[in-house]
Amino acid sequence: MNILLKLKTALLVFLFILPLQGWAEGYSNSFLHTKHKGHKDNSSDSRRPVRMTKEMGEHQLKNMRGHLEAVSAIVSAMALKDFKKMEKAALRLASSPKMKMMCNHMGNATPGFTKMGLVLHTTADTLVQAAKKKNYKVFVKKLSATLKTCTSCHSTFKQKILSKKALHKYIMQLK
Ligand code: HEC
């Protein structure tokens, strides 16, 4: 139970407090630096751009919300110690040809992005294995590892929306 409590606290920090902090920073920044609007107005934000079109960006965020729903389902199943449910929920983050295709697509103009996405899914595979083996302790460890892949990508990348033409031009120049 103790582990679950710790996990819940960590999740709370991850899901609510950190985004709020980011929001607060952005808010004060927009006050302080209104002159530089449209430029890199937050010097403490060193995240790299993941270049995509508006449609790709919306699709990516939808996928992300799905990932968070999966995490929520995982933690609910853990509270019940229901290994079948834990496995089923973990499968929503696991590797699949569809996931691979999606990560390749989203990262096609951003070296390193796809790789980080794939690490999330292969780490989630180990989560599925732990559920299959009904090993709660290992499951908790693997969930922690999985969440770290979320947070490390979030601190590395942020979306940058480009027109289709600009994105294509950028991809051609990468080759
Ligand atoms: C390969 C990189 C990567 C990984 C891995 C990743 N994310 Fe994201 N996520 C992003 C990016 C980029 C954004 C957009 C951030 C921005 O532009 O400020 C985002 C945004 C989000 C959002 C906000 C969605 C919205 O509608 O605004 C949620 C929620 C989220 N991610 C959850 C997760 C969870 C949960 C995981 C792990 C299970 C995860 N992400 C793993 C890159 C990633």
- On whether residue 5 sits in a domain, the answer given is no
Q: Which pLDDT belongs to residue 10? A: 57
26 lines ligand 1 (CB under 6 A): no
CA distances from 32 to 21, 23, 40, 51 (A): 16, 14, 13, 27
Nearest CA-CA partner of 127 in 57, 64, 56, 70? 70
Q: Which pLDDT belongs to residue 36? A: 40
- On whether residue 71 sits in a domain, the answer given is yes
Total tally of structural domains belonging to the chain: 1
Q: How many CB atoms lie within 10 A of CB 15?
A: 15
Contact status, residue 56 vs residue 110, Cβ threshold 8 Å: no
* Å from CA of 150 to ligand 1 middle: 7
* Å from CA of 6 to ligand 1 middle: 22
The 8-class DSSP code of residue 47 comes to P
Residue of the CA atom closest to atom 39 of ligand 1:
150
- On whether residue 4 sits in a domain, the answer given is no
Q: How many CB atoms lie within 10 A of CB 128?
A: 21
Q: Which pLDDT belongs to residue 175? A: 81
Per-residue pLDDT of the chain in tens (175 residues, 90 and over written 9)? 565 556 555 554 455 444 444 444 443 333 334 334 444 555 689 999 999 999 999 999 999 999 999 999 999 999 999 999 999 999 999 999 999 999 999 999 999 999 999 999 999 999 999 999 999 999 999 999 999 999 999 999 999 999 999 999 999 998 8
Q: Which pLDDT belongs to residue 11? A: 55
Contact status, residue 136 vs residue 2, Cβ threshold 8 Å: no
Residue of the CA atom closest to atom 41 of ligand 1:
150
Q: How many CB atoms lie within 10 A of CB 127?
A: 26
* Å from CA of 117 to ligand 1 middle: 10
- On whether residue 158 sits in a domain, the answer given is yes
- On whether residue 141 sits in a domain, the answer given is yes
pTM summary value: 0.82
Domain interval for residue 122: 11-33+46-174
Helix (H, G, I), strand (E, B) or coil at 109: coil
For residue 22, give both structure tokens: 């980011």
Task: Residue 26: give its domain's CATH number.
Answer: 1.20.120
DSSP strand pairing (48-52 vs 157-161)? parallel
CA distances from 128 to 41, 87, 116, 136 (A): 42, 5, 19, 11
- On whether residue 120 sits in a domain, the answer given is yes
